[in-house]
C-alpha cells in the first residue's frame, strides 16, 4: 500500500516511531519533542479523528480555514498553533482559538497581540531564505524583535520557528536556527524551544535539537486542493 493510502492511525504511528527513532539516534528523549499535526485544508472531521488517536497539538496556517474548524471542535481539548503569515487585523480573531502563535515576524504583530491583552505562547519565525517576502524575520533583525516581544508581559516567548528553504540541505538550515537560538538565549534565557522539521525533514531537525515538529502530509496524507 502506498504510504498515502494507509489509514490515518497507521501513518500517525509510523511518524511517531520515526520520531522516536530519530530521537534515539540524537541521544534525546522523545518526551522532549512535541509533534504539532498540521491539518491545513483538511476538514474538522480529520482533526477529530486525530484527537481520538491522542493528538493534542494542531497546526493551521490560514485564519479563514482554521477558525470554523476550531469553532466546530470546542468540545475537544486541543492546543491550536497558528503557523502561517499573520495580518495585524486578524490577530484578535486568531487568538480566539489559538494559544500558540509560531509565526511572529514583525513588531506590528507583537503590538497587535499586546493590544488584545490575551496571554499567548509565541515563537519568533526566522526567515532562512534570501527573500524578505517569505515569512519570518531576517537574522539581522532578530535581536530587536526579541526585545519587542520581551517587553510584552502577556507574551511568553518560547523560542524560534523556521522552515528549511527548498534549495538547501535541511540539516544546515536547522543548524543555523540552532545557532541563532544559542545567541538568543543570552537575551531570552527561557526561550529555548525550536520549532523546525516538517514531513520531509523532521529527522534532521531532531538531530539539530528541534523541540516542536510541524508535520502535515506524512500524517494526514495528501492535502485536498489548497483552494
Ligand atoms: C504546511 C506547513 C507545514 C507542514 O508541512 P508538511 O510538509 O505537510 O509536513 C509545516 N510548517 C508550516 C509553516 C506549514 O505551512
Per-residue model confidence as pLDDT tens digits over 147-174: 999 999 999 999 999 999 999 999 999 9
* Cα(166) to centroid(ligand 1), Å: 12
Q: Where along the chain do its domains lie?
A: 3-220
CA dist 91 and 133 (Å) reads 19
**CA nearest ligand 1 atom 6, residue:** 216
Pocket test for ligand 1, best of 4, 214, 218, 219 (most atoms within 8 A of CB): 214
CA dist 116 and 92 (Å) reads 6
Average pLDDT, integer, range 141-151: 98
| pLDDT at 4 > cutoff 80 | no
Pocket test for ligand 1, best of 12, 40, 83, 226 (most atoms within 8 A of CB): 83
The beta-strand segments (E) located in 65-215 are 79-82, 98-104, 120-126, 155-162, 193-195, 212-215
Pocket test for ligand 1, best of 198, 202, 224, 227 (most atoms within 8 A of CB): 198
Per-residue model confidence as pLDDT tens digits over 172-224: 999 999 999 999 999 999 999 999 999 999 999 999 999 999 999 999 998 78
| 46-to-4, 7, 11 alpha-carbon distances in Å | 15, 12, 13
The beta-strand segments (E) located in the chain are 34-38, 57-60, 79-82, 98-104, 120-126, 155-162, 193-195, 212-215
Residues with CB under 6 A from ligand 1: 38, 40, 61, 83-84, 163, 198-200, 214-218
The predicted structure's pLDDT at residue 1? 53
Tell me: domain 3-220, CATH 3.20.20.10, correct?
A: yes
What is the rounded average pLDDT for all residues in the chain?
95
| pLDDT at 131 > cutoff 90 | no
pLDDT class of 132 with cuts at 50, 70, 90? confident
Average pLDDT, integer, range 9-37: 98
CA dist 197 and 173 (Å) reads 10
- Supply the angle between the helices 44-52 and 63-72 in degrees, to the nearest 10: 60
> pLDDT over 90 for what percent of the chain?
91
Per-residue model confidence as pLDDT tens digits over 65-109: 999 999 999 999 999 999 999 999 999 999 999 999 999 999 999
Note the pTM of the prediction, 2 decimals.
0.96
The predicted structure's pLDDT at residue 2? 57
Residue 49 CB: number of other CB atoms within 10 A?
17
The predicted structure's pLDDT at residue 3? 52
The predicted structure's pLDDT at residue 219? 97
Amino acid at each position: 500500500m502506498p504510504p498515502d493510502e494507509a489509514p490515518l492511525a497507521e501513518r500517525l504511528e509510523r511518524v511517531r516511531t520515526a520520531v522516536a527513532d530519530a530521537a534515539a539516534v540524537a541521544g534525546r528523549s522523545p518526551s522532549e519533542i512535541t509533534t504539532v499535526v498540521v491539518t491545513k485544508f483538511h476538514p474538522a472531521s480529520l482533526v477529530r479523528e486525530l484527537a481520538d488517536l491522542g493528538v493534542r497539538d494542531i497546526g493551521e496556517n490560514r485564519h479563514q480555514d482554521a477558525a470554523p474548524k476550531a469553532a466546530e471542535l470546542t468540545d475537544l481539548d486541543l492546543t491550536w498553533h497558528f503557523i502561517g503569515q499573520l495580518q495585524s487585523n486578524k490577530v484578535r480573531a486568531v487568538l480566539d482559538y489559538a494559544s500558540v502563535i509560531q509565526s511572529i515576524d514583525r513588531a506590528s504583530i507583537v503590538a497587535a497581540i499586546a493590544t488584545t491583552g490575551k496571554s499567548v505562547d509565541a515563537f519568533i519565525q526566522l526567515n532562512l531564505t534570501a527573500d524578505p517576502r517569505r515569512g519570518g524575520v531576517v537574522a539581522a533583525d532578530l535581536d530587536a524583535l526579541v526585545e519587542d516581544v520581551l517587553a510584552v508581559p502577556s507574551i511568553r516567548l518560547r523560542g524560534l520557528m523556521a522552515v528549511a528553504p527548498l534549495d538547501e540541505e535541511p540539516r544546515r538550515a536547522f543548524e543555523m536556527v540552532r545557532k541563532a537560538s544559542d545567541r538568543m538565549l543570552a537575551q531570552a534565557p527561557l526561550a529555548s524551544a525550536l520549532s523546525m522539521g516538517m514531513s520531509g525533514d523532521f529527522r534532521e531537525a531532531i538531530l539539530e535539537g528541534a523541540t516542536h515538529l510541524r508535520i502535515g502530509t506524512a500524517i494526514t496524507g495528501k492535502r485536498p486542493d489548497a483552494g
